[in-house]
Amino acid sequence: MEHIQSFFSLTRLNSFGIDVKAKYFCKANAIDNILSVLDWQQKQQTPLLVLGGGSNVLFTKDFDGLVLQNALKGITLEKEDDTYYYVKAMAGENWHEFVCYCVEQQYQGIENLSLIPGNVGASPMQNIGAYGVEIKDVFESLEAIHVQDKHIQVFQHADCQFGYRDSIFKNALRNQYIILSVTFKLRKQPIYNTSYGNIEQALEQMKVTTPDMASIAKAVIQIRQQKLPDPKVLGNAGSFFKNPIIPDQLFEAIKLKYPQIPGFPISQTNTTKVPAAWLIEQAGFKGFRLGDVGCYPLQPLVLVNYGNASGEAIYAFSSNIIERVAKEFNIELEREVNIY
């Protein structure tokens, strides 16, 4: 049985740097540890929160239960065929370090997801994505343990019900499973995606004429570092809101008042994805600061903790943004960050 600590500070385990405590805390380095901790938690009948890298959470109060940090480590090449490498990473692996490893090994497909904070285990939960690539594009399967009956189950692609920054683990199966490992299907013959965002521009500046995995990863890292704050310097959880998907009819109505509104039509759905950052900027929040909470000047999607902001203050600030955007555009922004 792993050592369970009481009244444990979570300040260093959430990327906002919010000073809250967990009534109980345990770091699990092996599947057997997770099983024994779950036994203890069920006997105690205390609430459970599984934490990975803490990069997508906002704590608004102390957690009155057990915080279990999933620290399972290991990367293995499970198998390969003519087209793909099947690479298994344990849930506690740092996501960016895993991407770097795959780039070094010439496992192609996730270089566009460089420098995304967090751990591997959270990647399918959120269906993380950036620069034209999402987890669902490279996902093969995952192993997860059922919290109540403690059996280990394999989830294939279709089982996960991937959506935009969404999966079955955020909806029907929320808090019912702990992800242990994820297996990715990565290409042997590269198909690069450089058309999204400023990747091509960054490659030009780097004087790269023939892109490869390493140069694309480097370009993505540069772009992200230029417009996103380092959580170690300014507490943040990356994009705080999802980009809303709205009916084409509403998009056209908004366009009458704001002809410059950007939108990305989603084929065969009569809907358009609108950048939340643009909406937030139009609502007057880009660079706006209230006490120790603010919208990052270079990227309005990112809410930052400039010092000793409380989780309640950050949550209230996000509510003000939601309210203002709804009033101005009749669009309800949805938080991407998990609130506790």
Catalytic residues: 165, 239, 336
Residue 192: Cβ-neighbour burial (10 angstroms; 0-12, 13-18, 19+): middle
- Measured CA to CA, the distance from residue 334 to residue 305 in angstroms comes to 20
CB 73 within 8 A of CB 181: no
DSSP string, 41-88: HHHHT--EEEESSSTTEE-SS-EEEEEEEE----EEEEEE-SSEEEEE
Quick one: 151 exposed, middle or buried, by C-beta within 10 A (0-12, 13-18, 19+)? exposed
| Coil, strand or helix at 306 | coil
Q: Distance between CA 79 and CA 131 in Å, rounded?
A: 28
In what order do the strands lie in the sheet containing 245-247? 245-247, 271-273, 264-266
Q: Which one, of 260, 287, 294, lies nearest residue 275 by Cα?
A: 260
